Structure 1
Amino acid sequence: MAAPRTAGRTGAAVAAAGVLLALAGPYAPGAAAAAPEPETPCTAGTGPYQRELEEHLGRPVDGVQSVQDCEAVRAFQRENGITPADGYPDAATHRTVLVVTARPAPNAAGDCPVREHRVTCVDMDRQLLWVQRGSRILFPPVPIRTGRDFQETRPGWHEVYWRSKDHVSTLYGSPMPYAQFFDGGQALHGTPDSLYGNGGSAGCVNLAEADAARLWELLTEGDAVYVWGTRPGTED
């Protein structure tokens, strides 16, 4: 009597599986997983914002970098996308602390007037910008750079009166992407330069280019801008 046809198919499948196992070789659990790279020592020295970072991170506030301080700063930098994440308490890391601290309630002090319409809030004391309508935050706080001495960003109420997406400065020849002018030649705009060095701007409110692009999508001509405070390092 002939064997059932299903048995023949089963036998062929077993034979094929045996060939595949032979080709694949012996199974070794975990053999394909690469060993994790050892953590490199954190060796960055004391930085200009040492005390501020120590206080924010719950470290002993003595103004002197320790290995544990360095590791805590490096972990904060990695968590917030700061490069290089080397543990050095620099201006970029400190400014990120200000953003993180302000994020839950940027207008807790009530410095930016609450209105039923959109208001772009420019806090020169903390070098932060956000957009609110009433008590609702439409654009969370981001770091900015305002004007230096003798070229200060003008405080008070303003209005976006002209927008130029690919603007180039007629005075300096420098790119001003996503420029939204609010007072004379002063504008909210992106910059390819660092926000944390080279002093202040020439009066404009500089943002990281990605932040300026997002702000461009939110605002329109006629939107209110409110500026207050004093940029650290400038005269009152």
Structure 2
Amino acid sequence: MRGAPVHRTSVIRRAVLAAAAVALAATGCTTQAVGAAGVSASPSAASPAASPSPSPSPSSGASAAGGAEPTASAPASSPAAKVLMAEGTENEQVRELQARLRQLGHFHRSPTAFYGSMTAKAVSSFQKTRALPATGTVDGTTWEKLTAASRKPTAEELRPPTTNELDKPDARCMTGRVLCISKESRTLAWMIDGKVVSAMDVRFGSENTPTREGIFKVDRKEREWESTLYHTSMPYSMFFSGGQAVHYSSDFKARGYNGGSHGCVNVRDMDRLAAVFGQVKVGDKVVVHW
């Protein structure tokens, strides 16, 4: 009988040990579960991270689009869109602009280097022929098209002797030595055998005292002369029809076409006229025409 309790104690001990083993095994599973969860959490966390990774992609795209926005607005600040010349501009580039437009038949005066309303109209005219917006101002595109369509102006084209473009010479001016005077273009061309040697702006008589038209010859020359009728100075006079002469006029130089002569052909460029005066001979032909 005394041996029975020992047996029960042994049984109880084994039961306790078995329970402890079960508890330990259960605890070990939990730890593994956490460990497994910790190990698998990495892929699991990576998986959601991988899932949002497309999400930054649109964000990058938006950023790229944002970066593209300056490119879209670039034309506004690019050289092609920037206004280089407009009304009020005055510089040597304007002079070249006018000379090039004149080559192409859009500008009909001598270059002045000042961008006024006439230049703006000439620019608009050119722009229309090139299917460009007729703004009347010069941007990079207009300048590029103009320089491609024209050639680099010569020194004489940049600073021609006359304000107005010379007419095609009258047929009567094409032979010999001729002072060819056009009322249409208000110019005088000193020509020898059909070639223009020199040219200058001229002004004519008023409606009441018109300059006579036709073919004449130089009757006499006077370096210094004063009008016997009007008592005005007439330097470098070359008389061709009675009292009518080609001569320098200080009034023409000062007032331009706001005034008129009493029938003479006024010249405002004294130096140029003085040079021609030295070449013209008495008897040389004078043609006054429209």
Give TM-score, length-normalised by structure 1: 0.55
1:184, distance to aligned residue in structure 2 (A): 0.8
**Counterpart among 202, 206, 209 of residue 262 in structure 2:** 202
1:77-135 residue CA offsets vs partner (Å, 9 max, x unmatched): xx5399xxxxxxxxxxxx62525xx6xxx42xx444422x2111000110011122322
Structure 2: stretches of 5+ with no match in the other structure? 1-85, 90-113, 129-134, 144-152
Query: Take 1:206 and 1:171, find their aligned partners in 2: how far apart are those partners?
Result: 16
Secondary structure, in 3 states, of the residue corresponding to 1:167?
Answer: coil
> Are residue 171 (structure 1) and residue 229 (structure 2) matched?
yes
Secondary structure, in 3 states, of the residue corresponding to 1:221?
Answer: coil
**Counterpart among 183, 201, 210 of residue 124 in structure 1:** 183
1:201-222 residue CA offsets vs partner (Å, 9 max, x unmatched): 1111111212220111110111
Secondary structure, in 3 states, of the residue corresponding to 2:163?
Answer: helix
Query: Take 1:173 and 1:55, find their aligned partners in 2: how far apart are those partners?
Result: 43
Residue number in structure 2 paired with 1:193? 251
**Counterpart among 50, 72, 97 of residue 117 in structure 2:** 50
Q: Identify, as 1 or 2, the structure richer in helix.
A: 2
Query: Take 1:156 and 1:177, find their aligned partners in 2: how far apart are those partners?
Result: 24
> Are residue 80 (structure 1) and residue 140 (structure 2) matched?
no
Query: Take 2:159 and 2:249, find their aligned partners in 1: how far apart are those partners?
Result: 20
Structure 1: stretches of 5+ with no match in the other structure? 1-40, 83-94, 230-236
1:28-74 residue CA offsets vs partner (Å, 9 max, x unmatched): xxxxxxxxxxxxx9648xx9x8347732896669xxx96759xx9xx
1:148, distance to aligned residue in structure 2 (A): 1.3
Output the amino acid matched with 1:80. Answer: R
Matches within 5 A, 1:218-229: 218-229=279-290
> Are residue 214 (structure 1) and residue 272 (structure 2) matched?
no
Q: Identify, as 1 or 2, the structure richer in strand.
A: 1
Root mean square deviation of aligned Cα: 3.7
Residue number in structure 2 paired with 1:149? 207
Output the amino acid matched with 1:96. Answer: T
Query: Take 1:154 and 1:55, find their aligned partners in 2: how far apart are those partners?
Result: 34
Give TM-score, length-normalised by structure 2: 0.46
1:167-220 residue CA offsets vs partner (Å, 9 max, x unmatched): 111112211100010001100111122352333211111112122201111101
Secondary structure, in 3 states, of the residue corresponding to 2:257?
Answer: coil
> Are residue 114 (structure 1) and residue 193 (structure 2) matched?
no
Paired residues of 1:118 and 1:132 also in contact (CA < 8 A): yes
1:163, distance to aligned residue in structure 2 (A): 1.0
Query: Take 2:160 and 2:288, find their aligned partners in 1: how far apart are those partners?
Result: 28
Distance 1:68 1:163, change over 3 A: same
Distance 1:56 1:151, change over 3 A: farther
Paired residues of 1:114 and 1:135 also in contact (CA < 8 A): yes
Output the amino acid matched with 1:127. Answer: R
Count the aligned residue pairs.
159
1:144-182 residue CA offsets vs partner (Å, 9 max, x unmatched): 111111211100011111111011111122111000100
Query: Take 1:53 and 1:182, find their aligned partners in 2: how far apart are those partners?
Result: 41
Distance 1:53 1:213, change over 3 A: farther
Output the amino acid matched with 1:133. Answer: I
